[in-house]
């Protein structure tokens, strides 16, 4: 009978550990997704901003050697990510392919001008910065015009700002919800052991001694749950990148390291804190109160 009872008690504890780990895994997976979307949204905003370009139209009298010198000078500026030189011939070819007809055939000349397509670093991809850059670039007398779509730049920045605020609010809300869910899971697990806790108090065990195995068990449950959640997140990220290689610009190894580290940290801190608070609650209770909760 003793062995049977011990086996059943061990099975119960194991089942509680498994149940607690599964519940915590689901919550940590949710938290991991929030961190993932916040970080990838930032990378996506950088990627989108750095792919907004503006055109510098060059004078027909400007020699190609001078154009390349200008391009080199621009590339040395802190606001330029990269630039591309498009000659008159290349511009004509691209427009002919786009329109399906050659304008030179009925105009008798090439109507397009050479240009430099400039992409900015994300911090400079806004209307105010571009306006200052335009003023600086126009000081060169060989520059005919500087073209960019102000409304597109403003729309992109406004949308990115709104999405970032929404994700931040969602992250805060889900953090509180996740804490509450994990707290309830751990409180239920400790609730079933409340009489054992009281018995240990009666035989003179210190609060620290009583708390130690419960804290260790719940933290270990948090570590296991975090490892499973991280594995699922890494698997999902790998599948997404395998499906679309361009996502590597957004889902970077650095993002996944931060996500996995955050999930592990949440798993350890939240389970320890919830277990500590719940243990103190039952340690403070009198024997009679344990029957009425």
Instruction: Write out pLDDT tens, residues 215-273.
Output: 888 888 889 999 999 999 999 999 988 888 888 888 888 889 999 999 999 889 888 98
Q: What is the pTM of this model?
A: 0.69
Cα–Cα distance, 171 to 249 (Å, whole number)? 23
For residue 171, the tally of other CB atoms under 10 A from its CB is 14
CB 47 within 8 A of CB 125: no
Cα–Cα distance, 119 to 24 (Å, whole number)? 45
Residue 185's pLDDT is: 77
Which runs of consecutive H residues, i.e. helices, occur in 50-85? 64-75
Low-confidence ranges of the chain (pLDDT < 70): 1-14, 16, 287-293
Q: 67 vs 59, 96, 99, CA distance in Å?
A: 10, 24, 27
Q: How high is the mean pLDDT of the chain?
A: 81
Residue 26's pLDDT is: 85
Cα–Cα distance, 50 to 45 (Å, whole number)? 8
Residue 8's pLDDT is: 39
User: 265: closest CA among 9, 14, 35?
Assistant: 35
pLDDT tens readout for residues 271-286: 898 888 888 777 777 7
User: 112: closest CA among 94, 92, 97, 142?
Assistant: 92
Residue 1's pLDDT is: 41
Cα–Cα distance, 170 to 165 (Å, whole number)? 9
Query: Distance of alpha carbon 243 from its chain centroid, rounded?
Result: 19
Residue 258's pLDDT is: 93
pLDDT tens readout for residues 121-131: 888 888 888 88
User: 58: closest CA among 70, 45, 50?
Assistant: 70
Q: Which residues lie closer than 8 Å to 146 by C-beta, 6 or more apart?
A: 54, 55, 56, 57, 134, 137, 138
Domains of the chain: 2-47+156-292 (no CATH), 53-147 (3.30.70.3040)
């Amino acid at each position: 009978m003793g062995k049977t009872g011990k086996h059943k008690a061990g099975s119960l504890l194991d089942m509680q550990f498994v149940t607690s780990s599964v519940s915590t895994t689901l919550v940590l997976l949710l938290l991991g997704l929030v961190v993932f979307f916040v970080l990838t949204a930032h990378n996506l905003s950088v990627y989108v901003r750095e792919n907004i370009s503006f055109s510098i139209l060059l004078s027909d009298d400007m020699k190609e050697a001078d154009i390349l010198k200008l391009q080199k000078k621009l590339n040395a500026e802190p606001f330029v990510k990269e630039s591309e030189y498009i000659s008159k011939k290349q511009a004509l070819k691209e427009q002919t392919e786009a329109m399906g007809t050659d304008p030179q055939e009925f105009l008798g000349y090439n109507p397009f001008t050479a240009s430099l397509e400039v992409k900015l670093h994300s911090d400079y991809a806004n209307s105010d910065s571009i306006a200052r850059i335009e003023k600086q670039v126009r000081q060169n007398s060989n520059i005919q015009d500087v073209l960019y779509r102000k409304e597109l730049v403003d729309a992109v920045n406004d949308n990115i700002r709104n999405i970032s605020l929404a994700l931040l609010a969602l992250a805060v809300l889900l953090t509180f919800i996740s804490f509450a869910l994990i707290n309830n899971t751990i409180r239920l697990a400790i609730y079933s052991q409340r009489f054992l806790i009281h018995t240990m108090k009666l035989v003179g065990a210190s609060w620290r001694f009583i708390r130690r195995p419960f804290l260790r068990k719940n933290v270990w449950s948090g570590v296991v749950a975090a490892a499973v959640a991280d594995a699922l997140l890494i698997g999902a990220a790998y599948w997404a990148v395998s499906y679309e290689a361009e996502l590597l610009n957004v889902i970077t190894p650095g993002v996944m390291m931060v996500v996995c580290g955050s999930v592990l940290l949440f798993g350890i801190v939240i389970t320890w804190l919830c277990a500590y608070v719940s243990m103190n609650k039952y340690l403070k209770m009198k024997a009679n109160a344990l029957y009425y909760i």
